[in-house]
């Protein structure tokens, strides 16, 4: 008898979950049909594809021009090919413009329907506030992912031209999709809280600017508050010597007694830098390990961001020459990645705004802002 009751409870729970997901699917379908009917989405997608192609061509032309200049001055050309440079530039371009497009697709998802008088129609149905909110989030996320799909061929070109593996494209696309989803969640949550579409769009762009530029400002200001010391001895530099891989760099040896030297303990505020979307994407990409390479390896823009994040986490113990009497490597390996912490903080912020948006969509509403349209 108890087993039969348990089976009934499991069946009822699965039925409730299926009905809840079906409601979300209905909202997603409705939203996507409305977006696909308009020409604006297709025009933006075509412009996105053309701009990404133009950036790819300009990067390839710039690399060819640099190689021609090196041959003209008798310098040996690079043997790695333009693939790595194209991949780095296109990835940075796609991430930048994805952060600009995602708020436009999500920041008026809820209050836009409220202003048009269609939100009340959904609220008087059997749909729950969570189903409406999640449906609009997934619809905005799917619409934004269309732009990433349009830019995928140009990232694949970087792999085809050498210097990279398919894993670079897969991981970068996955992290780009996650970052776009975080921005869409911010936009939908703010849209449910704000009464006016224009206000929610502006606030969402400010939130994205805070993640991109505010984290850098916070890290810079916070670094000034981390004054401290580190035990290090004297570094004796040798003469410059040409290296087979990478530019010139002096090598040094450590000698003498250890003494306290002033240093900035950036590891104490590195978590603020980890919330930056560029740091999350750059630090998650599995770059080739160059810790055993002599000299300072030549890295691209995205890999340079990853190196800067690792240096901030290492602090003076891993970056100051001769700290603890040890010669510090020019290239830091990925021992403890920073991106899980940064992505976790982003998800907490997005989840908080989505929860507040869910509370704002509950009916009957206890309080409405002045001028808010009900139906």
* In the predicted structure, residue 47 carries a pLDDT above the cut 50: yes
| Mean pLDDT value across residues 284-297 | 66
The pLDDT value recorded for residue 120 is 73
Q: If you ran DSSP here, which 8-state letter would residue 292 be given? A: T
In angstroms, rounded to a whole number, what is the distance separating the alpha carbons of residues 322 and 333? 18
Residue 328 domain-assigned (yes or no): no
In a domain, 61, yes or no: yes
State both tokens at 303: 């890999």
pLDDT score of 241: 47
More confident residue, 110 or 252: 110
- How many Å apart are CA 251 and CA 196, to the nearest integer? 60
Full-model pTM: 0.82
- 312 to 232, 315, 328: CA distances (angstroms): 18, 5, 14
- pLDDT for position 9: 53
Which of the residue ranges 45-54, 303-312, 328-337, 362-371 has the most confident prediction, judged by mean pLDDT?
A: 45-54
Give a yes or no: residue 29 inside a domain.
yes
Q: Among 104-108, 122-126, 180-184, 283-287, which is the least confidently predicted range?
A: 122-126
Residue 294 has pLDDT above 70, yes or no: no
Residue pair 198/116 in contact (Cβ under 8 Å)? The answer is no
Distance in angstroms (rounded) separating the CA atoms of residues 192 and 200: 9
Position 177 scores a pLDDT of: 93
pLDDT at residue 350 in the model: 94
137 in a domain, yes or no? yes
Mean pLDDT of 6-14: 58
- Is 319 or 142 the better-scoring residue by pLDDT? 142
Residue 126: pLDDT over 50: yes
Examine the pLDDT at 82 and tell me if it is beyond 80: no
Q: Does residue 338 lie within any of the structural domains?
A: no
Return the closest-CA partner of residue 303 out of 262, 335, 331. 331
Q: How many other C-beta atoms are found inside a 10 Å radius of the C-beta of residue 41?
A: 17
| pLDDT band per the 50, 70, 90 thresholds, residue 4 | very low
Q: Residue 86 falls within a domain, yes or no?
A: yes
- Per-residue pLDDT tens for 192-202? 888 788 888 99
**At residue 217, does pLDDT exceed 90?**
yes
Confidence band for 203, pLDDT divided at 50, 70 and 90: very high
Per-residue pLDDT tens over the stretch 253-268: 787 788 888 888 888 8
What average pLDDT does this structure show over 211-224?
A: 91
- Nearest-angstrom CA–CA distance, 83 and 364: 57
**pLDDT over 90 at 252, yes or no:** no
The range of the structural domain enclosing residue 33 comes to: 19-71+80-216+354-361
pLDDT digits (tens, 9 = 90+) for 222-247: 888 888 888 888 777 765 544 444 44
Identify the pLDDT of residue 246.
Answer: 45
Please check the confidence at residue 274 and state whether its pLDDT lies above 50.
yes
Question: Does residue 163 lie within any of the structural domains?
Answer: yes
> Model confidence at 371, in pLDDT bands (50, 70, 90)?
low
Counting the structural domains of the chain, the total is 1
Q: Is residue 49 assigned to a domain?
A: yes
Q: What integer is the mean pLDDT of 69-82?
A: 63
């Amino acid at each position: 008898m108890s087993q039969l009751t348990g089976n009934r409870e499991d069946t009822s729970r699965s039925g409730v979950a299926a009905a809840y997901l079906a409601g979300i699917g209905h909202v997603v379908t409705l939203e996507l049909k409305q977006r696909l009917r308009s020409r604006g989405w297709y025009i933006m997608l075509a412009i996105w594809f053309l701009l990404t192609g133009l950036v790819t061509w300009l990067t390839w032309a710039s690399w060819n021009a640099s190689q021609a200049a090196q041959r003209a001055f008798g310098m040996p050309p690079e043997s790695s090919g333009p693939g790595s440079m194209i991949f780095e530039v296109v990835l940075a371009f796609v991430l930048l413009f994805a952060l600009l497009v995602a708020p436009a697709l999500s920041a008026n998802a809820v209050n836009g329907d409220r202003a048009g008088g269609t939100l009340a129609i959904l609220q008087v149905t059997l749909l729950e506030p969570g189903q409406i909110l999640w449906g609009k989030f997934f619809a905005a996320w799917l619409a934004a992912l269309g732009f990433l799909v349009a830019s995928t061929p140009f990232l694949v070109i970087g792999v085809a031209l050498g210097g990279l593996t398919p894993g670079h494209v897969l991981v970068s696309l996955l992290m780009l999709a996650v970052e776009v989803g975080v921005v869409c969640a911010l936009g939908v949550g703010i849209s449910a809280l704000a009464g006016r579409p224009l206000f929610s769009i502006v606030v969402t762009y400010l939130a994205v600017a805070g993640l991109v530029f505010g984290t850098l400002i916070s890290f810079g200001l916070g670094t000034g508050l981390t004054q401290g010391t580190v035990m290090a001895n004297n570094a004796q530099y040798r003469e410059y010597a040409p290296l087979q891989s990478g530019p010139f760099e002096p090598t040094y040896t450590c000698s003498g007694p250890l003494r306290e030297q002033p240093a900035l303990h950036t590891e104490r505020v590195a978590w603020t830098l980890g919330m930056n979307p560029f740091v999350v994407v750059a630090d998650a990409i599995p770059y080739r390990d160059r810790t055993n390479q002599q000299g300072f390896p030549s890295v691209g823009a995205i890999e340079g961001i990853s190196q800067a994040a690792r240096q901030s986490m290492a602090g003076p113990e891993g970056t100051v020459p001769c700290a603890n009497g040890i010669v510090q490597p020019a290239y830091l390996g990925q021992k403890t990645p920073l991106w899980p912490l940064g992505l976790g903080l982003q998800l907490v912020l997005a989840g908080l705004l989505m929860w507040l948006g869910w509370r704002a969509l509950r009916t009957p509403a206890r309080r409405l802002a002045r001028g808010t349209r009900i139906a």
